[in-house]
Amino acid sequence: MIRILANDGIAANGQQLLEDAGFEVDTKKIPQDELMTKLNDYDAIIVRSATKVRKDLIDASPNLKAILRGGVGIDNIDHEYAESKGIPTYNTPAASSDAVAELVFGHFFALSRFLHRSNRELTATDGDFNKLKKAYGEGQQLRGRTLAIIGFGRIGIAAARIGLGLGMKVLPVDLYKDSDTVKLSFADGRDIDFKLDTVPLDEAISQADYITIHVPGGNLIGTEEIGKMKDGVIIANTSRGGVINEDALLQALNSGKIAGAALDVFVGEPTPRRDLLEHPRLSVSPHIGAATGEAQDNIGVELFEKIRDHFGKQ
């Protein structure tokens, strides 16, 4: 029987599908420092972001036949080395796109109407209703604004779908494609396709009122790029910590160049820097982009399909 270690967990539907197909699934968490001696008891490992599968662990697990990531990025896996040893790495890029995109817009709405601050301050024991009503009475609407989407893959397209639905002008940026199609589906069964051409990064960020980033990593936004943005821009990062330089971001928040920023990911996870977390222009969440019941169920199904197809070829 094929044994699978779901070390960072798996949705119940995915586990059930695997077990019904004859796989043995172990969901008991093995600490990182114990995996060196225990992973070789399994044929495959499923991780999210917590567990690292590095070269030394791969070398210590010659029975390992597949590595799976329940999510999009695979930066916590030495996947190229694993491939060189004949061990493929799989992820689930389609499962959580809508969940991440919706989180972005949750932050955009919060920042645009100061919900991230008024929610806390009004419920405080000394919350002054009339004072807060005046302080937070100059919000802005998203309709008619320009949205730059940096990284026009599945999540970027999902974000474009929401932006178009809200009546925003969408400027996608991507290094690998000149255009892509965004499909809007309506409850009455109609579908409308929008073909969007990509534009250079400088063009997008100089025109944008809102910016959302969906790239696998790298140092993308720093002082130079922020200087090219509109005054009062709102920016979100739900991709990887460090894609926006945190020092440059803090400086721009302090000056008001960036009116608001949303961060779901941080350089110092799980202990992000306090001067960012406590900044009044920042809306934060604890790396929960894919953390919806629907997304986790989708991930469970996709993991099952990847494992079924892989071991079906053995």
Q: What are phi and psi of 83, to 5 degrees?
A: -60, -40
Q: Say if residue 139 is in the same domain as residue 239.
A: yes
From residue 133, alpha-carbon distances to 122, 157, 188 in Å are: 9, 36, 39
Q: Which amino acid is at 138?
A: E
Residue 49's pLDDT is what?
85
Instruction: Give the three-class secondary structure for 64.
Output: coil
Q: Are residues 267 and 252 in the same domain?
A: yes
pLDDT tens for the chain, 314 residues long, are: 999 999 999 999 999 999 999 999 999 999 999 999 999 999 999 999 889 999 999 999 999 999 999 988 888 999 999 999 999 999 998 899 999 999 999 999 999 999 999 999 998 878 799 999 999 999 999 999 999 999 999 999 999 999 999 999 999 999 999 999 999 999 999 999 999 999 999 999 999 999 999 998 889 999 999 999 999 999 999 999 999 999 999 999 999 999 999 999 999 999 999 999 999 999 999 999 999 999 999 999 999 999 999 998 54
- 171 and 303 together in one domain: no
Pair (89, 113) in one structural domain: no
Two tokens, residue 98: 């809508």
Counting Cβ atoms within 10 Å, is residue 28 exposed (0-12), middle (13-18) or buried (19+)?
A: exposed
Q: Which two tokens stand for residue 82?
A: 């694993």
Q: Which two tokens stand for residue 36?
A: 């060196």
Instruction: Specify the pLDDT at position 314.
Output: 44
Which DSSP symbol is given to 34? G
Task: Looking at the structure, tell me whether residues 91 and 101 fall in a common domain.
Answer: no
Active site residue 287: yes
For residue 299, the model assigns a pLDDT of 95
**79 in catalytic set:** no
Is 227 strand, coil or helix?
A: helix
Q: How far apart are CA 26 and CA 34, in angstroms?
A: 15
Residues 84 and 229 in one domain: no
Q: Which domain holds residue 159?
A: 97-284
Residues 64 and 168 in one domain: no
Residue 212 CA to residue 142 CA, distance in Å, equals: 14
pTM of the predicted protein model: 0.89
Which of the following is catalytic: 161, 240, 279, 281?
A: 240
- pLDDT value for 73: 80
Task: Give residue for tokens 């590095």.
Answer: 54
CA distances from 210 to 10, 140, 160, 260 (A): 34, 12, 12, 10
Question: Are residues 80 and 48 located together in one domain of the fold?
Answer: yes
CATH number for the domain spanning 172: value is: 3.40.50.720
Same-domain check for residues 195 and 256: yes
Of the CA atoms within 13 Å of residue 118, those in its CB half-sphere come to: 18
114 and 254 housed in the same domain: yes
The count of structural domains within the chain is 2
Number of neighbouring beta carbons within 10 Å of residue 97: 23
Q: Does one domain contain both 69 and 111?
A: no
Q: Are residues 304 and 251 in the same domain?
A: no
Q: Check residue 32 and report its DSSP letter.
A: G
What's the one-letter identity of residue 37? T
Crossing angle of helices 97-112 and 115-123, in 10° steps, is 60
CB atoms within 10 A of CB 249: 24
Closest CA to 47 of 83, 92, 86: 92
Q: Residue type for 103, please?
A: L
Give the active site residue among 34, 80, 269, 294: 269
Q: Is residue 113 among the annotated active site residues?
A: no
